[in-house]
Structure 1
Amino acid sequence: MFENLEKFIEYIEKERKYSDKTVEAYQNDISDFVTFLEGLSLDYLKIGYDGVRLWIVELSEQGLTNRSINRKTSALSSFYKFLLKIEVVDTNPLFLHKSLKVEKKLQLPFSLKEIDAVRAMFEGKDDFDSLRDLVVVEMLYCLGLRRAELVALEVEDVDFYLHQVRVYGKGAKERIVPMLSELEQLLKKYLDVRRIVLADKGEIKALLTNNSGKKIDEMLVYRIINGYFSNTTTKEKKSPHMLRHSFATHLLEGGADINSIKELMGHESLSTTQAYAQINLSELKKVYQSSHPRGRNNKK
Structure 2
Amino acid sequence: MTKLQSFLTYLEFEKKVSSHTLTAYRIDLEQFLSFLQEEDKDVLLENATKAEVRVWIASLMEADLSPRSINRKSTSLKSFYKYLKQCGIIDIDPAKTVHVLKTSKRIPQYVKPQEMDNMLNGEVFDDSFEGIRDKLIFEFLYGTGLRANELLSIQVNDLDFYKNTVKVLGKRDKERIVPLHAVLVQQLKIYLSNRKEHQNPDLFLLQDGATLKYSQLYSIVKHYLELNTTAGKKSPHILRHSFATNILEKGAALNDVKELLGHANLSATQIYTHSSLQRMKKVHAQAHPRAKKKRV
Q: When the two structures are superposed, what TM-score results if normalisation uses the length of structure 2?
A: 0.89
| Partner residue, 1:268 | 264
| Partner residue, 2:209 | 213
C-alpha separation between the residues in 2 aligned to 1:130 and 1:62? 44
User: Is contact 1:155–1:206 with CA below 8 Å preserved after alignment?
Assistant: yes
What displacement does 1:177 show? 0.6
Matched, 1:118 2:119: yes
1:45/1:108 CA distance change after superposition, 3 Å: closer
Instruction: Please tell me the residue identity of whatever aligns with 1:52.
Output: V
Matched, 1:63 2:68: no
C-alpha separation between the residues in 2 aligned to 1:295 and 1:217? 53
User: Aligned to 1:228, which of 221, 224, 229?
Assistant: 224
Deviation larger for 217-226 or 173-182: 217-226
User: Aligned to 1:244, which of 231, 240, 243?
Assistant: 240
| Partner residue, 1:37 | 36
Summarize deviations over 1:164-204 as a string: whole Å, max 9, x none: 11111111111111111221121121122112xxx4xx401
Matched, 1:94 2:90: no
| Partner residue, 1:16 | 15
| Partner residue, 1:180 | 181
Alignment of 1:146-165 (within 5 A): 146-165=147-166
| Partner residue, 1:203 | 199
1:292/1:175 CA distance change after superposition, 3 Å: same
Q: How many residues align?
A: 292
| Partner residue, 1:3 | 2
What displacement does 1:140 show? 0.8
| Partner residue, 2:105 | 104
Counterpart secondary structure, 1:231: helix
| Partner residue, 2:169 | 168
1:293/1:50 CA distance change after superposition, 3 Å: farther
C-alpha separation between the residues in 1 aligned to 2:292 and 2:216? 46
C-alpha separation between the residues in 2 aligned to 1:188 and 1:295? 51
Deviation larger for 75-84 or 170-179: 75-84
Deviation larger for 59-68 or 168-177: 59-68
Instruction: Please tell me the residue identity of whatever aligns with 1:264.
Output: L
What displacement does 1:272 show? 0.9
Q: When the two structures are superposed, what TM-score results if normalisation uses the length of structure 1?
A: 0.88
Deviation larger for 284-293 or 77-86: 284-293
User: Is contact 1:109–1:243 with CA below 8 Å preserved after alignment?
Assistant: yes
Matched, 1:26 2:22: no
C-alpha separation between the residues in 1 aligned to 2:269 and 2:108? 14
C-alpha separation between the residues in 2 aligned to 1:33 and 1:107? 29
What displacement does 1:110 show? 1.6
C-alpha separation between the residues in 1 aligned to 2:284 and 2:49? 52
Deviation larger for 51-60 or 134-143: 51-60
Counterpart secondary structure, 1:230: helix
C-alpha separation between the residues in 1 aligned to 2:138 and 2:91? 48
1:297/1:220 CA distance change after superposition, 3 Å: farther
Structure 1 stretches of 5 or more lacking a match?
Answer: none
Summarize deviations over 1:199-244 as a string: whole Å, max 9, x none: 4xx4012111211222222222222222212233223222222211
C-alpha separation between the residues in 1 aligned to 2:97 and 2:279? 37
What displacement does 1:79 show? 1.5
State the identity as a percent.
Answer: 39
Instruction: Please tell me the residue identity of whatever aligns with 1:213.
Output: G
Counterpart secondary structure, 1:161: coil
What displacement does 1:292 show? 6.9
What displacement does 1:108 show? 4.2
User: Is contact 2:258–2:269 with CA below 8 Å preserved after alignment?
Assistant: yes
User: Is contact 2:54–2:98 with CA below 8 Å preserved after alignment?
Assistant: no
Instruction: Please tell me the residue identity of whatever aligns with 2:9.
Output: E
Instruction: Please tell me the residue identity of whatever aligns with 1:4.
Output: K
